[in-house]
Every structure is written in structure tokens, then in C-alpha cells.
Amino acid sequence: MQFIDLVTQKNRIRENLMKRIERIIDSAQFVMGPEVLEVEKQLAEYVGTKHCVSCASGTDALLIPLMAKGIGPGDAVLTTPFTFVATAEVISLAGATPVFVDVLPGTFNIDPDKVGAAVEEARQKGLNPKALIPVDLFGLPANYDRLETVADEHGLWILEDAAQGFGGTVGGRKAGSFGFVGATSFFPAKPLGCYGDGGAIFTNDDELLELLISVRVHGGGDDRYNNVRIGLNGRFDTIQAAVILEKLTIFDDELALRQKAADAYSARLKGRVEVPEVPEGYTSCWAQYSVLANSTDDRARLMAALKDAGIPSAIYYPIPLHLQKAYENLGYKPGDFPITEDFSARVFALPMHPYLKAEEIEQICEVILGA
């Protein structure tokens, strides 16, 4: 049994994808070819924003907006400690300081009610709080109705980290469209993934668009040798754009299949483990199906039983960011973010992809229920 099945998906799109790739090879337009502009247009239309700027990775998709907005030393950017390191890493790479905010029970996402205290913490540290990066963890968008209100109250702009959330919705509005700017990842394991690294940035702001394009390619101005700011090499490969174009043709169907799998899991496992909570009016793209065991020992027992049955599982994320060695200079300690720490001690993820068979889900659930 596979944790993520990319082979079955590949077989669905192989014929048309190979035609696209062959055209690219014949044209020799491997960098910023016409497929890149095509995929940016389709992605912007899908998300519902005026603009999309593709880039080389999900990490670049987060870093480029920070650079474009001039985030740097002396600035604080707020985010959650319960996420992949890239979310906080880009803050540090920009020269700013991460300030963490605990998450909500149930949804795994940042708690809007704790943002104000984090703003005050930043100021007490002599920092200037500038931005907020909520994370759409495991596929579920954060509570942007409340977050946008809180951010406005404290003079923050929002960079939505939709690296795991692309395809999720709130009130019909798609992940990537929230806040001032949104970012996503096309890492192969994502619900919409390419065959390597890739990412995209979304915004409705025309001025920001020009800055994003400049930073993406070495801070260029009117031409490639007129460098008006510090940038990076963050271009999206043409062949990867072709992969995303073909995967978009089946993406909504795959989202429906992911939802079907998640519903089946939740119906069988509720009561044995804490299943993911999806608030009314929200949908998840189910980048992962993560549950909470009763304890760390219970998690170990369940994962061992799954392994014995030949079923893969994974832990996202075993060490919260505020307790990582890379961030020990921030001075956080165990107990500072109790919900995050509790989740890290109990969370684990089950196989999740559109091609999970009903009998496979039943087998997984039987192992967990019998452990």
C-alpha cells in the first residue's frame, strides 16, 4: 500500500502530458516558455485572483513576497510553530524574526485570538510587527474572516501559506486568494504537484505583481542586466508548468475523490482517534489525513500496528518549530505553545490520495480499531 499514489495519477494524464513535454523539447524553450504564462493564467482563474506568478518552489513562493515588501532586520513576522520549517525559514532568510502563535484545537490552524498577544510580544522584543503568515495546514484553510480583522487591527498584512491548502475553500472562495498575497507549493506530494519543485504566488495588487516578477529573476528592471533590487533565481521550469497544466484537468475530480476517502476514514475512526475537524462552510483539499492518538504511547502502538500490516504512516510534525535547534536563539521553551506541543506528541497521518480503494481504507481502519 502506498502513502501517496502518483503512478495511477500519472497513468491518467500520461498521453497528453508526453505530447506537451515533446513540444517543449522540440521548441527548446525550457525556461519561461509559453507554458509558464499559460499555467499562470489558468491558476489565477482557478484561485480567483487577478494575478499569479509562478516560481521555483513553495519556499520561494513564501520568500519572494517578503522580499518584495522589504521585510528585513528589525521586523517581526507572526506565524504558527505547528508547520513545516519553510514557513518560518523564509522569515529568517529575509532577515526578519519569527514570532510564533499557538494553534486552535480541532483544525490545527493558527488561533486568531492569540495574534494580539504575539504582536505585543514582538514589540516588547524591540521588533516592528509587519506581517502574519497563517498556514492552511493539512489542506484546511485557516479562519481568514477573523484573521483578516485581527491583522487590520494591528496593522499587519497577510501572506497566506497555502502550500498544503491549494484546492481548499472557505465559503466557496479558494485557498491562495486570502490576505494581501497567497503562496502555494507544487512539490510532487501536494494535491496539485509537479514532477519536481515548483510554486506559485497569488495577488490582486498590481504594484506587488511588478515587484514579485522583479524579485523572481534577480531583481531585474527593464531588462535582465538592469538590476534594481536584490532578487533570486526563482523561475518555474517550462516542463513543470506542463505537468501542472495537465494535472489541472483532473484536479477537481481528484479533490472529490480525496473528500470521499476522508469521509470514509472519519466515519470509521471517530471515537478511536480524534479525526480532523472541518468547520461549516469550509472544504479541505486533504493534503494529509492527520489524526490525533490518545497519547504518545497510543500513537506509537497504532503506528507499529500499521507498519506490521504493511501500511505506511507518518508524523507531521514531531518537533514544533519553537523547539527546533535552528530557533533556539528565539528563547522559546517547552510549555510556551501547549496546544502545538500536545498535537506534536499525538499527531500522525494515514495514507491519503485520490486513488485509495474502499477496501484499503477499511483495512487501515480495521488495524487502528483493533490495535
**Using alpha carbons only, how large is the chain's radius of gyration in Å?**
21
228 and 267 belong to one structural domain = no
For position 217, what pLDDT does the model report?
A: 95
190 is catalytic: yes
199 and 67 belong to one structural domain = yes
Last residue of one domain, picked from the residues 198, 226, 245? 245
Q: Which residue's entry shows cell 524553450?
A: 29
CA-closest candidate to residue 129, choices 107, 92, 98: 98
CA quadruple 151, 291, 315, 192: dihedral positive or negative?
negative
265 and 362 belong to one structural domain = yes
For position 86, what pLDDT does the model report?
A: 98
Q: Please report whether residue 155 resides in a domain.
A: yes
Q: Which of 114, 130, 174, 190 is catalytic?
A: 190
User: pLDDT of 297-323, one tens digit each?
Assistant: 999 999 999 999 999 999 999 999 999
For position 224, what pLDDT does the model report?
A: 77
164 and 216 belong to one structural domain = yes
For position 227, what pLDDT does the model report?
A: 85
126 and 169 belong to one structural domain = yes
265 and 174 belong to one structural domain = no
Burial class (CB in 10 A: 0-12, 13-18, 19+), 126: exposed
For position 225, what pLDDT does the model report?
A: 85
Number of domains in the chain: 2
Distance (Å, rounded) from C-alpha 177 to C-alpha 172?
11
Residue 197: all three cell numbers together: 519543485
173 and 308 belong to one structural domain = no
Distance (Å, rounded) from C-alpha 347 to C-alpha 96?
30
For position 106, what pLDDT does the model report?
A: 84
Distance (Å, rounded) from C-alpha 158 to C-alpha 162?
12
For position 290, what pLDDT does the model report?
A: 98
The CATH number given to whatever domain includes residue 322 is 3.90.1150.10
The CATH number given to whatever domain includes residue 110 is 3.40.640.10
267 and 235 belong to one structural domain = no
Q: Which domain holds residue 271?
A: 251-370
Low-confidence ranges of the chain (pLDDT < 50): none
Do 175 and 136 meet the contact criterion of CB atoms below 8 Å apart? yes
Last residue of one domain, picked from the residues 245, 265, 285? 245
Pairing of strands 128-133, 157-161: parallel
